[in-house]
Amino acid sequence: MRKIALLCGVALVAAGCGGGGPSTSGGGKLSDDKVVFGVLNDQSGVYAQLSGKNSIKAVELAIADYKAKYGDKAVAKNIVVEAADHQNKPDVANAKAAELYDRKAVDAILDVPTSSAALKVADVAKEKKKLYFNITAATMDLTGKSCNKYTFHYAYDTYMLANGTGKTVTDQGAKSWYLVYPDYLFGQDMTASFEAAVTKAGGKVVAKDPAPFPNASGDFSTYLLKAPNLNPKPDVLGTMQAGAELVALVKQYNEFKLREKGVGLAVGLMFLTDIHSLTPDALAGTTYTDAWYWNYDLRNREFADRFFQATGTRPTFAHAANYSAALQYLEAVQANGTDDADTIVKYLEGRTVEDVFLRSGKIRAEDHRVVHDAYLAKVRSSKEVKEPWDYVDVLKTIPAADAFRAPSADCKL
């Protein structure tokens, strides 16, 4: 008799693992009775400040909002956040992603900066058939040749940055460009996107130089010496460096007095935390494209205030996008009563979404690009900064329809 009971138990467990068995809880059809987010990012390196541990806080805010909204009616009662540090290394990202999905029962991986690492995680998501919202990587390949059914590219990409900054700065009269980029996937991608955007706007790239990555000495003076002596002399130096390297390059740009020598500065990718590190004066007047700005309107500000209470800093666009992705995922679970990956993907595809981060947001079915309004911003001088962290003026909104490229033929879902 006991044996039979045991066999029944085994059968039940096996059925449960298969996902088709009857659920024993009353809450709904959730795997393991809970929803698990996996925040996979750089927690101690160059990108730790712009996303890092505060991305986890952002996801926790989304969970709190979801619970407050649905209360007893919430399908997901037990929501867990697992975090892992991928150290910006593709192989580590690969292993951690598999561990999160398999051992930590993660339903959706979020964040993942560093393009090469982000692509590895996309492969893992495809293999495990689990959801993956990439927030902080820029590579177009996520919605190009490496796209897959379970991967969504959420916040921004190199096209968005180049199209915004490259086009606008060229339109404003800076026709000739000198591009300096870190010599890895992200930098190469950015440079190609910028060159295309600049050329399309009637400008010309007179020179482009790959800089060692990672740059061990933190010294970019060679390029800064070279810039004013190029023939023809460039109107603007476009830097694709990110994080600490951007900080070093801008510092040295000012040291070499290039603005006084008639070479302006355009920054490919910049986060709020970079401006904070450099102090706004080091960047004053620099134009760049932002996916979201915390003091753009009251709605953003309200979120930023809550974020500030939790972390002591204002959110970057990456933080806001992590919040948004977690929230939209939970809404999808609520609407469908399940966290089954295929059901959620089907629900999200083609959907129009709106929240504090996603303005005029739409999740494209063709390539899983999440499109939304982007913003062209200009850094203030310290005299114009009235409030800590309020470093930029938003010059204009780039409508969602123009901000991102059309779906690529390379992507076959």
98 phi and psi angles, rounded to 5 deg: -60, -40
- Rounded to a whole number of angstroms, the minimum distance from the CB of residue 403 to another protein is 27
* Site map 273..292 versus another protein, x via CB under 8 A: xx-xxxx--x----------
Sign of CA dihedral 316, 201, 369, 146: negative
Torsion region of 71: left, alpha or beta (phi above 0 gives left; psi -120 to 50 gives alpha): left
**231 part of the interface to another protein, by CB under 8 A:** no
Alpha-carbon distances, residue 327 vs 31, 314, 330, 392 (angstroms): 18, 19, 5, 27
Which residue number, 278 or 330, has a Cβ lying nearer to another protein? Answer: 278
- Rounded to a whole number of angstroms, the minimum distance from the CB of residue 274 to another protein is 8
Tokens found for residue 5? 């009971």
Q: Among residues 69, 145, 200, 257, which is the contact residue for another protein, using CB under 8 A?
A: 257
Stretch that binds another protein, among 3-11, 269-277, 362-370, 391-399 (CB under 8 A): 269-277
Rounded CA gap, 269 and 267, in Å? 6
Which residue number, 88 or 324, has a Cβ lying nearer to another protein? Answer: 88
- Rounded to a whole number of angstroms, the minimum distance from the CB of residue 293 to another protein is 18
The amino acid that residue 203 corresponds to is G
What single DSSP character describes residue 406? P
* Site map 12..51 versus another protein, x via CB under 8 A: --------------------------------xxx-xx--
Which residue number, 87 or 148, has a Cβ lying nearer to another protein? Answer: 87
Sequence-ordered alpha helix ranges (H) in 129-271: 158-171, 185-200, 221-226, 243-255
Q: Among residues 9, 21, 173, 218, which is the contact residue for another protein, using CB under 8 A?
A: 218
Rounded CA gap, 332 and 338, in Å? 8
- Rounded to a whole number of angstroms, the minimum distance from the CB of residue 50 to another protein is 8
Which residues within the stretch 185-214 sit at the binding site for another protein (CB under 8 A)? 209-214
The amino acid that residue 238 corresponds to is G
Which residues neighbour 60 within 8 Å (Cβ) at sequence distance 6 or greater?
81, 310
**215 part of the interface to another protein, by CB under 8 A:** yes
Which residues neighbour 216 within 8 Å (Cβ) at sequence distance 6 or greater?
none
**247 part of the interface to another protein, by CB under 8 A:** yes
List contacts with another protein (CB under 8 A).
44-46, 48-49, 52, 182-183, 209-219, 221-223, 225-226, 243-245, 247-248, 251-252, 254-257, 273-274, 276-279, 282
